[in-house]
Amino acid sequence: MDQVWQVIKECIHEALASAGASPTDVASIGITNERETAVLWDRRTGRPVARSITWQDTHTAKGHIARAALEAAAYQTYDLAQAMLAETGLTQLGELRVDGGMTNNDLLMQFQADILGSPVAAPAVSEMTATGAAYAAGLATKFWSDLDELRANYTITRRWQPHMNEDERARGVAAWRDGVDRTLGLAKRGPGN
């Protein structure tokens, strides 16, 4: 606990120095352990001295941070899929076909299927961008005769089915959107606001 308190004090001193403020300028300090964030407010204006001070405490492991990054990628994909559904007038995504290095992470792919409420499928070759460039070159040089020959090369080898119930999905999406809204609110403020 002494280590955590020491880190908190260091963060507070750094924020005060960065803002050109003194401890007497601080009216209150809000600390929440679950989010590992401390916000300092100016007692005269009620505005934050710094947007926030975030640190990794002894209860947060690298895995927590990695999991948050993976979930953020899945929620961003969810938002994109929802925008595409709205644009096309469709109501449900049939199957999301994915490729790239992140498809090697089963936790992410399962979470993606859960958040979308739709199956996620990955091909045998995970790096389809490079494969697509090679296919285009092969078509141009007549290495392949037509698109049907290329389609025959594309095989789905991994699938993830959604298992999350609708209530849990809705709670997760609502929390994600709330976090995004809060972050955008901070971005709209200028320094010192």
82-132 residue pLDDT tens: 888 888 888 888 899 998 889 999 999 999 999 999 999 999 988 888 888
Q: What is the CATH number of the domain that holds 80?
A: 3.30.420.40
Whether the CB-CB separation of 58 and 159 falls below 8 Å is answered with no
Q: Among 60, 77, 104, which residue terminates a domain?
A: 60
> Are residues 136 and 157 located together in one domain of the fold?
yes
Q: How many domains does the chain have?
A: 2
Task: Using a cut of 0.85, tell me whether the model's pTM lies above it.
Answer: no
Q: Are 24 and 78 members of one domain? A: no
Residues 118 and 29 in one domain: no
Q: Is 139 exposed, middle or buried (0-12, 13-18, 19+ CB in 10 A)?
A: middle
Distances (CA, A) of 50 to 11, 56, 92, 99: 11, 18, 42, 40
Lowest-confidence segment of 55-59, 75-79, 177-181 by average pLDDT: 55-59
Whether residue 111 is found in the same domain as residue 153: yes
Q: What is the spatial distance between Cα 84 and Cα 166, in angstroms, rounded to a whole number?
A: 20
pLDDT band at 33 (very low <50, low <70, confident <90, very high): very low
Domain span including residue 111: 63-180
The CB density around residue 113, as the number of other CB atoms within 10 Å, is 23
Report pLDDT for 104: 92
pLDDT of 113 reads 97
Max intra-chain CA distance, the chain: 76
Tell me: do 40 and 99 sit in the same domain: no
Residue pair 163/112 in contact (Cβ under 8 Å)? The answer is no
pLDDT at position 19, please?
72
Residues 174, 92 share a domain: yes
User: For the stretch 163-173, what's the b/e string if a residue is b when 16 or more beta carbons lie within 10 angstroms of its beta carbon?
Assistant: ebeeeebeebe
How many other C-beta atoms are found inside a 10 Å radius of the C-beta of residue 112?
27
**What percent of the chain stands above pLDDT 90?**
26
